[in-house]
Amino acid sequence: VHWYMRSLEEVAIRTLSSLGVSGAGREAGLTGVWVGGKKACAMGVKISRWMSYHGLAINVHTDMRHWEGIVPCGLEGRQVASVP
């Protein structure tokens, strides 16, 4: 499962890079993709009976006021990013 999550992160990092977002990457011990200390890609995975279900969420041109109350992955003091 760890390999699968890191592979999905890599897809998001490459996607953001292809859109011109620089600095997208991982943070040690945390799941997801981060840009400038803010979470740029949230991920969710379920694996059951040899089937995997996954979701990725990247905020694009989002009014971040709607996200002010969100604590990404339960990490107090962290913010959610929107990419241009």
- Catalytic residue list: 73
Q: How much of the chain is in helix, strand and coil states, percent to nearest 5?
A: 30, 30, 40
Q: Are 33 and 13 in contact (CB under 8 A)?
A: yes
The β-bridge partners of 44 are: 55
